[in-house]
Structure 1
Amino acid sequence: MLPPRTPRPSLNGTISADIAVIGAGFAGLSAARRLSQLDPKLKVVIVEAGEIAEGATGRNSGFIIDLPHEVSSEDYSGSDGDERRHDIKVHRLAIALARELATEKGWGKDIFDACGKYNVAMGPQGDKHVVSYAKQLEKIREEYCLLDAKEIASVTGTNSFTSAIYTPGTVIIQPAAYIRGLADSFGDLVKLFENTPALSFERQGTSWRIKTPNGVINAGKIILANNGQAQSFGLFRGVLLHVYTYASMTEAFTPARLGGHRSWAATPAFPMGTTVRRVPGEAGDRILIRSRYTYNPGMQVSDGAIARAGRIHDRKFEARFPMLKGVQMQYRWAGAMALTWNGVPAFGEIEPGIFAAIACNGVGATKATASGIAAAEAALGVDSWLVDVFRGFAAPKRLPPQPFLTIGATANLSVKEWSAGLE
């Protein structure tokens, strides 16, 4: 949906850096931004295997969420030392970086919109969850607004939703435009090379030597921000679950065909349900549908898998927007997530001078941003609250052996999707 851009050149030759960042997604670019803030004289190099915003980051659904989907855990009323109790504050630090960037760039709501989000229900089961969630938010004194069927219809333009809860803290972004802008925000001392995969790295005295197809980087430290691809270096084997989620977006339609607001974003009442966005544009409006999860240990998705997910999206779209009959899906895609069995990030100094910001466990725009900030601070020895929180997480739990892992992961995802029902 954005105009084409010319990618930055790939690396040719040998260069040196204080810190090299591998991966230019939410985590890697946020880490580089934080590094440049902490020490503007620091020489930072970023290498990206593909092109900016062409991967999963640019295809993100665009929610930078402040509140977890569930806040009923005892963790949120426990002691100050409980790591889970800090989730909301961590998320809001990520939003603060995004807001600072948006202000610096002078972005409008087409790229950065602090509009909040809706959790929507499609039946009695979802309605109960909405009410339960409101009670949870009440206990931790978070702002919210409950909407009945008529009220949420006035927002979405459809009578398909039976209730909703609105929370104001979520920011909605145009993910590809956001990540392009973040990549363009650095000073001259941050060098970014696209189409430059890091093939390997090895210790050379007190520094690290990173090999790329046509060049070498000699760096004092490395921040790994390439999520599941960290396994390409032999790291985190046996602890990362590679799960793909799928989305479809309609062709542009005349805004008059659908009432309500022209821009809104909704997550489902149940975590494994269906996310929906209405995206306005000059050529018309579009609806984004995100649903379906699969376990893909080989980190590849077939055209057939995307087609099967697309058929599910079509049914969900028709059930929610019968007034848009005849509007076709123009785009379909899949995006990778790296999860751990116990839901913790793979974070920290894994070898002297190598810092990991891996495994966001979903809500990638938020959690990956936060982990990138924390990795940057840790790499520079900054003693921050955020670093303490990330260091406080348990180690990722080892996964069961195959074939039990594939059988269990696939069954677990299927049961959770089935439990979401209409949602």
Structure 2
Amino acid sequence: MTRIAVTKKPVDPGPAAWNDLLPARDPVRVVDEDTTADWVVIGAGFAGLAAARRLSQQCGSDKIVVLDACRVAEGPAGRNSGFMIDLPHDLSSSDYGGALDKDVTLTADNRHAIDFAATMAQDFGMGPDVFARTGKINAAATARGDAHNREYAAHLMAMGEPFEVLDSAQMKERTGISYYRSGLFTAGTAIIQPAAFVRGAAAGLSSNRVQIFENSPVTGLTHDGDWVVHTAGGNVRAPKVILAVNGHLNSFGFLKNRLMHVFTYASMTQPLTPQQSARLGGAATWGVTPADPMGTTVRRITSPQGDRILIRNRFTFDPSMEVSDQRIRSVAQDHDRAFKARFPMLGGVGMQYRWGGRLCLSRNNVSVVTELEDGLYAACCQNGLGTTRGTLSGILAAELATGTGSDRLDRALAAPAPVLLPPRFIAKPAANAVLKWQERKAGADL
């Protein structure tokens, strides 16, 4: 008999701001008795909900149980910046590009995931305020960032991908700000309200066949022919289980010392007044990622509660998968500096929300889609792209578990395992030193 003890529950610093912008959602359904199912999916983020959706398509009348340790949209799925990016975007690299053939297939895989999410959005009645393929801009504030964009443009041209180069005047016209010297627009990215998307997906999936339980952290698993998933309120028995827990795969005892646990940080302003929005100008909704991967991501958000600005920057390597409130306060100073530099016309606008989000990366930039043990599958390690790569991993794990073959699944299964990391006492200071050095090199792009 196999026994797996879960050693750590998720800890998410700060409020889930995207979720706070939405109407309250009660009551919550928790596991409160023993039950059986055909499938259990652990994790109700992008990977878990994509897996549940794909299983529901493939498995007719099978019963699917989805478990999450917190409320849907209060974990990492509701804390990201809301970009579903199709093109190469390796956060562990000094740029966003890579080998040509690899990037062509990676882009096709990413677009498959975005198409899948688009169908979910349509089928579950999500509007353009939740999911819209509006594209994004790689924004450069420095000569180094501009050089990154030109190299990226050459790589996109070799891939046969369209793009639009924007000068400083065009950047100001679109964003309302004079901070950027150039930009590179690509049209394939979907901009989402991440909390609204995962809440909408969970609501759309919920039925007699697909049951979603929140605030029900898994404490362990036992295999006695079936898998028995243990929670404080009861056990769920099923023949097959998909772990869609990203970096918390380590907490289930798998791939120890092979996953890099990184936090990134964001702040969101209070609502802008109509006068402040008019002073800003530019388009009502837009999103920029930095030309330098260590730079600052910015979004202008239009919502019923008013326009807001989101700032995201800084990365820290934290093998404990936890950060302190002091860390949030410290990073907040960097956010305020980045905001003030970009939006001088919005003096007096304060930040209403500040939070951190957990990422999981591997040194060799591979995801983990595999059968860990008989009937136990993984859809994990999203390498900082939880929206797109999480969705893809969830789809592929469900297809692996149901014996549904594809070239995409073959590529995932052929990928090497995440490579070993140095011992923690070496890895943590070394990784954080490298991150600090890369952020320093980013200059005004940070």
Q: TM-score range by the shorter chain?
A: over 0.9
Partners of 1:136 and 1:7 in 2: how far apart? Answer: 49
Q: Is the 8 A contact 1:8 1:192 kept in 2?
A: no
Could you tell me which residue of structure 2 aligns to residue 236 of structure 1? Answer: 255
Q: What is the correspondence of 1:184-223 to structure 2 with a 5 Å cutoff?
A: 184-186=203-205, 187-204=207-224, 206-223=225-242
Report what 1:132 is aligned to.
Answer: 151
Q: What aligned pairs does 1:314-329 form with structure 2 within 5 A after superposition?
A: 314-329=336-351
Q: Any unmatched runs of 5+ in structure 1? A: none
Distance 2:143 2:367 in 1: 35
Percent identity (aligned): 45
The correspondence for 1:112, drawn from 124, 128, 131, is: 131
Equivalent in the alignment of 1:399: 421
Hey, what's the Cα distance between the residues in 1 that align with 2:252 and 2:123?
A: 36
The structural deviation recorded for 1:188 is: 2.1
CA distance in 1, matches of 2:119, 2:69: 27
Aligned: 1:175 with 2:197: no
Q: Does 1:313 pair with 2:332?
A: no
Displacement of 1:257: 2.4
The answer as to whether partners of 1:267 and 1:276 remain within 8 angstroms in 2 is yes
Q: Cα distance, 1:72 vs. partner? A: 4.4
Question: Any residues of structure 2 matched to 1:362-373 within 5 Å, and which?
Answer: 362-373=384-395
Match of 2:4 in 1: none
Partner AA of 2:38 in structure 1: D
- Is the Cα–Cα contact under 8 Å of residues 100 and 158 in structure 2 kept in the other structure? no
Residue identity in the other structure for 1:347: V
Taking the aligned partners of 1:111 and 1:88, their CA distance within structure 2 comes to 23
Give per-residue Cα distances to partners, 1:352-371, cap 9 Å, x unaligned: 11100111011110101100
Partner of 2:100: 76
Structure 1 residues 7 and 270: CA distance shift in structure 2, 3 A: farther
Q: Which 10-residue stretch deviates more, 249-258 or 309-318?
A: 249-258
State the Cα deviation string for residues 64-113 of structure 1 (Å, max 9, x = none). 0001135643x324xxxx5x542101110110111101211333221111
Deviations 1:264-309 (A, max 9, x none): 0000001111000000123421100000011111111111100111
Q: 1:190, CA displacement in angstroms?
A: 0.8
Report if aligned partners of 1:116, 1:171 keep a CA contact under 8 Å in 2. Answer: yes
| Equivalent runs, 1:156-305 vs 2, <5 Å | 156-186=175-205, 187-204=207-224, 206-254=225-273, 255-305=277-327
Return the letter of the residue paired with 2:264. Answer: T
Deviations 1:151-189 (A, max 9, x none): 110000011111001000000000000000110122420
Query: Is contact 1:71–1:137 with CA below 8 Å preserved after alignment?
Result: no
Change (3 A) 1:283 1:189: closer
Residues 297-347 of structure 1: CA deviation (Å, up to 9, x unaligned): 111111110011110000000111111111001100000011112211122
Aligned residues: 416
- Comparing both chains, which one has the higher relative contact order based on Cα–Cα distances under 8 Å and sequence gaps of 6 or more? 2
What's the offset of the Cα at 1:379? 0.6
Counterpart of 1:391 in 2: which secondary structure?
Answer: helix
Which residue in the other structure is 2:407 paired with? Answer: 385
User: Which residue of 2 is the match for residue 25 of structure 1?
Assistant: 45
Determine if the alignment matches structure 1 residue 37 to structure 2 residue 57: yes
Cα distance, 1:368–1:216 mapped onto 2, change above 3 Å: same
Greater mean alpha carbon deviation, residues 64-73 or residues 381-390: 64-73
Paired letter, 1:76: L
Partners of 1:40 and 1:326 in 2: how far apart? 55
Contact 1:347 1:390 in 2 (8 A): yes
Letter in 2 for 1:196: S
Structure 1 residues 94 and 299: CA distance shift in structure 2, 3 A: same
Q: Distance in 2 between matches of 1:338 and 1:380?
A: 26
8 Å Cα contact 1:71/1:136 also seen in 2: no
| Kept in 2: contact 1:46–1:193 (CA 8 A) | yes
RMSD: 1.3
Letter of the 2:219 partner, please give it. Answer: L
CA shift for structure 1 position 386: 1.9
